[in-house]
Amino acid sequence: MAVPYVEIDLIIEPVEPGREILLAHLGQYGFESFKDTERGLLAYIPESDLQVGWTDTIAILETLNFRVSYRQKRIEPENWNAQWESNFEPIVVDDLCQVRAPFHTSDDLPYEILIEPKMSFGTGHHETTHMMLSFILENDFDGKRVLDMGCGTSVLGILAAMRGASAVIGVDIDPWCVENSQENIEANQINEMKALQGGADVLSDLGYFDSILANINRNILLSDMEQYLRVLRRPHGQLFLSGFYLQDLDVLKKACNKHDMEFIEHKERNNWVAAKFVFL
């Protein structure tokens, strides 16, 4: 099921570092994908998720002496794929994993993930996906039962399965992401993974997990944390979180500590953070 998107074409002066600051703020308002332009940034969000308040990000930039202007247009679902496809370049994580579309050439790395270039978030281009993939490459997933919460394209779950996970369940609130996930799971011949539509409320029916991957955003992570941790195995269950900024790391650490989770380490890219926690 495809949904209409909104494209915001932003012009920023000076472009750097304005683009980076704007990108970080727009992520907080649910913008899912971005493309650099010569004079700024294209930002995309499902039409139903667009909040009037997103323009506050422009006001913030203006108080920092940037000049920002924008144009907004609706993208019909049938036009989205072509748009996304033209933006999609392969990426490499830690010289070990390539994420690419079927039409790109292979780098013959140990892990290769094929992603059908549709509109779901999770091609590895975003800092948060990149850092989560890096965590999956560094950690042991052998024989683990894994939850990929907010799975998007299922790129994280697919890598976890390639790293030896015995079963992976992807969950996403957006039915379109679930459809795209199924395609990607099949294209990568991952028999151990399936994707379901829903939010944290579906978790109680899914059994226990050894590892949870959740790259969503600060507010959803905080509000749904308790439900995630109810299905994470104690002790030693691993929780990998991303989708938030460095300034929010402390509040997420506090929320995890409250539930007997120990903070292990974090990664940073352009002010975005991914963090690892383990149940005591």
Ligand X SMILES: C[S@@+](CC[C@H](N)C(=O)[O-])C[C@H]1O[C@@H](n2cnc3c(N)ncnc32)[C@H](O)[C@@H]1O
Please identify which residue in 93, 177, 203, 255 interacts with ligand X, judged by CB under 6 A: 177
Using CB under 6 A, which of 28, 98, 129, 181 touches ligand X?
129
Size of the site for ligand X (CB under 6 A): 21
Tell me: is residue 172 an annotated ligand-binding position.
yes
Burial class of 158 by CB neighbour count within 10 A (0 to 12, 13 to 18, 19+): buried
* Cα–Cα dist 162/137, whole Å: 10
| Shortest separation between residue 235's beta carbon and ligand X, angstroms | 26
Q: Is 173 in the site for ligand X (CB under 6 A)?
A: yes
Task: Give the pair of three-digit tokens for residue 198.
Answer: 């829903």
Q: Which is nearer to ligand X, 129 or 238 (CB)?
A: 129
Sole window of 79-87, 116-124, 181-189, 271-279 interacting with ligand X (rule: CB under 6 A): 116-124
Q: Could you say which residues in the range 211-270 bind ligand X, by CB under 6 A?
A: 215-216, 220, 243
Instruction: Give helix then strand counts, H and E, for the chain.
Output: 8, 14
Minimum Å gap between C-beta 263 and ligand X is 20
Q: How many CB atoms lie within 10 A of CB 257?
A: 13
Q: Is residue 161 within the footprint of ligand X (CB under 6 A)?
A: no
Is the CB of 66 or the CB of 240 nearer to ligand X? 240
- Compute the least distance from the CB of residue 215 to ligand X, in Å: 4
The binding track of 133-152 with respect to ligand X, each residue x by CB under 6 A or -, is ----------------xxxx
Residue type, 88: F
Helical segments of the chain, H only? 15-28, 56-63, 77-87, 127-138, 155-162, 175-187, 218-230, 249-258
The C-alpha atoms of residue 123 and residue 133 are separated, in whole angstroms, by 10
Q: Looking at 99, 171, 185, 195, which residue binds ligand X (CB under 6 A)?
A: 171
- Listed in sequence order, the residues at least 6 apart from 103 whose beta carbon sits closer than 8 Å to its beta carbon are none
117 is a site residue for ligand X (CB under 6 A)? no
Q: Which is nearer to ligand X, 4 or 199 (CB)?
A: 199
Identify whether the C-beta of residue 163 lies closer than 8 Å to the C-beta of residue 188. no
Tell me: does residue 40 bind ligand X (CB under 6 A): no
Nearer to ligand X, 68 or 171 (CB): 171
Contact between 155 and ligand X by CB under 6 A: the answer reads: yes
Long-range contacts of 255-260, Cβ-Cβ distance < 8 Å, separation of 24 or more:
255/221, 255/222, 255/225, 256/225, 259/225, 259/226, 259/229, 260/234
For residues 202 and 117, the answer to whether their CB atoms sit within 8 Å is no
Task: Please give the annotated binding residues, written as ranges.
Answer: 129, 150, 172, 215
Residues in contact with ligand X by the rule CB under 6 A: 120-122, 129, 132, 149-152, 155-156, 171-174, 177, 199, 215-216, 220, 243
